[in-house]
Structure 1
Amino acid sequence: MRATIQGRVLAEASDDEIVMIEGNVYFPPGTVAQELLSESETPYTCPWKGRSQYFNAVIDGKVVDDVGWSYPAPLASAVKRVGRDFSKFVAFSPFVTVDSHG
């Protein structure tokens, strides 16, 4: 799977590395272009996953707000529900293209 915005790859991982949660593809932290992301101040807490961290991206010198989010320390019950630890995995907003790259 690959996540792209404005021609830039934000993340790329094989199908066995990703985690699908509620229709969103979560990429492992090591597969995400961390150099393009910075922490956003957008607050959000999911009732069953816990507190999230949103990210902005800098693409061609311009900030794109809230391109993605992660759960730095998801609730233990959420990890159990998902069946895998998804701490710091990153999912992307609907305006980011996430698709199979063959």
Structure 2
Amino acid sequence: MPSATAKVAGNVIASSDKFQTVEGNIYFPPDSIDQAMLSPSDTHTTCPWKGQASYYNITVNGQVLKDAAWYYPAPKEKAFHIKDHVAFYANKVNVVVA
């Protein structure tokens, strides 16, 4: 079974073999995330079929990556399997599946 890892500057933010892939994005389960690196953002967006997304800022080595991660705290029915799973923007976080 493949495993996915998310890193910033060599620091692992998330790692799991129980991830979900939706629209090309890797969603990590909540228990695989290093919450110490995340802080809530005030940003929210809406997807027509997934619902309202909430965002996290990521802080690594004193550097803040604004809105670098997102999740769906109350997804619509078709996206319920990614409830509270966290995805990362590829231009800010290195996500590798191996």
TM-score with structure 1 setting the length: 0.86
Q: Secondary structure, in 3 states, of the residue corresponding to 1:74?
A: coil
Partner of 2:87: 91
Q: Percent identity?
A: 40
Q: Secondary structure, in 3 states, of the residue corresponding to 1:42?
A: strand
Which amino acid in the other structure matches residue 72 of structure 1?
A: P
| Number of residues of Structure 1 aligned to a counterpart in Structure 2 | 94
Q: Secondary structure, in 3 states, of the residue corresponding to 1:68?
A: strand
Which amino acid in the other structure matches residue 95 of structure 2?
A: V
Runs of 4+ in 1 over 6 A off after TM superposition: none
Aligned equivalent of 1:6, options 5, 9, 13: 9
Where does structure 1 lack aligned partners over 5 or more consecutive residues? 80-84
The CA RMSD measured in Å over matched residues stands at 1.1
Deviation (angstroms), 1:77: 3.2
Partner of 1:46: 47
Where does structure 2 lack aligned partners over 5 or more consecutive residues? none
Deviation (angstroms), 1:62: 2.2
Which amino acid in the other structure matches residue 94 of structure 2?
A: T
Deviation (angstroms), 1:20: 0.4
Partner of 1:60: 61
Q: Secondary structure, in 3 states, of the residue corresponding to 2:44?
A: coil
d(CA) in 2 for partners of 1:98, 1:77: 24
TM-score with structure 2 setting the length: 0.89
Structure in which a larger fraction of residues adopt strand: 2
Q: Secondary structure, in 3 states, of the residue corresponding to 1:43?
A: strand
Which amino acid in the other structure matches residue 43 of structure 2?
A: T
Deviation (angstroms), 1:38: 0.6
